[in-house]
Structure 1
Amino acid sequence: MNKKFINQNRPERRDAAQNRQRILDVAIKLFKKNGVEQVSMNQIAIAAQIGPGTLYRRYHNKSELCMDLIKDNIDLLFNDIDRYLSDNRETSPAQRLRGLLKLFIHFRETKAQLLAGVESTPAASNNHTQKSPIYNELHKLFVTLFEEMNNQHTTDSIFAADMLLAALSKDFYRFQRNVRGYSPSKILEQLCLMFSKR
């Protein structure tokens, strides 16, 4: 599958590439210091010493900027998922679902802030038809596994994939971790109990 979530083949002028790198360097420093959610696009533009128009021409919102910062890690995640699913073709779909969830939960834990930034696009929060590329790719994988479990193609598999991704979303996951006090392994166990017996 080898997903590429940002077009890396587009040629870039030297000054544009320098601006891009300056934006990314400044953004990652501000994010580490203050947290992704507390940093505005205007703060990034000021710290990078560029005009807001220059910033918004490159990144329409903070979600796109976070995606650029995290894209290599996302590619690695989906390469790991591909490898896992390929190496475990003979195991049950429920077991493969567990392995996939384990990989994603580890990714969410290690890249929490940037991943939350990717998920925080204003369009996605106001329009539920627009989802991140990560959501779309995971949704396809979950639907395939649920269809295997049911041994048929049904809308139930689509609904189950939507519900599972809702449970893995930043707000729900953060609530389970910080308010309920569940560990990542406990969340994994609970999700497997809920979604593997279909």
Structure 2
Amino acid sequence: MKNTGETHTRTERRDAAENRQRILAAALKLFEQNGVEQVSMNQIAIEAQIGSGTLYRRYRNKSELCLDLIKDNIDLLFEDIEAYLKQHQTDAPSRRLREVLSLFIRYREKKLQLLTGVEQAASTIGTQSRTQSPVFNDLHEIIVKLLNEMTASEQPKSSSVFKADMLLMALKSDSYVFQRDVRGYSPESFLDQLCLTFFPVK
């Protein structure tokens, strides 16, 4: 005799997986058509043909939804960063940090809309939101480590945590888009300015 409880659990898991795919497909379609900021959670639920309660049980806000949409890409980004750092351990820390920032800026160019969506929680969650983003948490840790190496070998002692915070603020979507679209910096020249402002490259 079949275990009805086990069958029910499998059905629930299948339904949950199907709902997730419908939500992600609907969100991606709407984001590409209208931009992340213009799309509401209610519109996503309607497009996915599910109840809003089902949507909110899986995603509390658009930030979490955007993060799920780019999770695989983010994993690949950090794999590339780790591989680069491992292969260039003997390079000056300032050179390694420049390349880490370059990899992230190139990634931001490709996934600008969705990364903006990940950051949008800042306006609704409060001042702690930046530290709650796994993207910026992981990047912050890498930057601090490289800045600490620099402090020991290339520049006067300073607060690496504070400098990393400021660097990440400059890399946020609103700051990056302003510098690119209003100030006219290309991604490459934006990177040059970051390096000149925050650390010497030798």
Tell me the TM-score normalised to structure 1 length. 0.89
Look up the match of 1:33. Answer: 33
Q: Does the Cα contact within 8 Å between 2:151 and 2:158 map onto a contact in 1? A: no
Map of 1:1-198 to 2, 5 A cutoff? Answer: 13-122=13-122, 126-128=126-128, 130-151=131-152, 156-197=159-200
Query: Structure 2: how far apart are the matches of 1:124 and 1:59?
Result: 14
1:151 to partner: Cα distance:
1.1
Displacement after TM superposition at 1:127 (Å): 2.4
Deviation at 1:197, TM superposition (A): 2.6
RMSD across aligned C-alpha pairs, in angstroms?
1.9
Deviations 1:82-135 (A, max 9, x none): 001001101000000110010000000000001111111157752236430011
User: 3-state DSSP class of the match of 2:159?
Assistant: helix
Bigger CA radius of gyration: 2
Contact 1:102–1:188 (Cα < 8 Å) also in 2:
yes
Identity %: 60
In 2, the alpha carbon distance for the partners of 1:34 and 1:124 equals 21
Go from structure 1 to structure 2 and tell me whether the alpha carbon gap of 1:132 and 1:97 turns closer, same or farther (over 3 Å shift).
same
Letter in 2 for 1:140: E
Q: Tell me which amino acid in the other structure corresponds to 2:190.
A: I
Between 154-163 and 70-79, the greater mean CA deviation after superposition = 154-163
Q: What are the ranges of 5 or more consecutive residues in structure 2 without an aligned counterpart? A: 1-9
- Per the TM alignment, residue 49 of structure 1 is displaced from its structure 2 partner at its CA by 1.1
Contact 2:81–2:100 under 8 Å retained in 1: yes
In structure 2, C-alpha distance between the alignment counterparts of 1:197 and 1:106, rounded to whole Å? 21
TM-score relative to the length of structure 2: 0.88
Match of 1:8 in 2: none
C-alpha distance in 2 between matches for 1:24 and 1:177: 29
Cα distance in 2 between the residues matched to 1:131 and 1:116: 15
| Distance (whole Å) between structure 2 residues aligned to residue 61 and residue 109 of structure 1 | 23
Q: Which runs of 4+ in 1 moved over 4 A?
A: 122-125
Assess if the C-alpha contact under 8 Å between 1:45 and 1:55 holds in 2: yes
Post-superposition CA distance 1:56-84 (Å, at most 9, x none) = 00000000000110000000000000001
* Structure richer in helix, relative to its length: 2
Matched pairs, number:
187
**2: distance between equivalents of 1:127 and 1:161?**
16
Query: Is the Cα–Cα contact under 8 Å of residues 22 and 48 in structure 1 kept in the other structure?
Result: yes
